[in-house]
A = this chain, B = another copy of it.
């Protein structure tokens, strides 16, 4: 398993923002809005495409680079929001997985794509 250490990303994002004096615009509401905007741009790459077309699209290095940029934008705003809220991101994800383990027990939902209220 490769490391997924975003410490340097977080440091650079905070530095980038601080140099531009942009934290004044980064209210939690504005950051959440920006996560949603960037995630829609990410989604746009797959608009209208079926599975086969998606695969082909992503096999182009050029397209993959564009998709990576949208992923970067989305995660960047999430990183900034979480530092502003004083959140330990790794612990937050682990806590949610624990909750989901109860909501989606393996025995009940193995191989099924139903929502918990449809199980």
Contacts and interface: CB of A to CB of B under 8 A. Distances in A.
Contacts of A35: 39, 42-43, 74
Interface string A83-119: 0010111101111110111001010011101010000
Contact of A39 (B32, B99, B100, B113): B32
B32 A48 contact: no
Contacts of A25: 48, 113
Contact of A29 (B51, B74, B78, B79): B51
Nearest to A24: B111
B54 A20 contact: no
A109 B48 CA distance: 13
Chain A interface category by residue count: 35 or more
Contact of A9 (B79, B93, B99): B93
Contacts of A110: 19-21
B32 A37 contact: no
B42 A40 contact: no
Interface in A48-64: 48-49, 51, 53-54, 58, 64
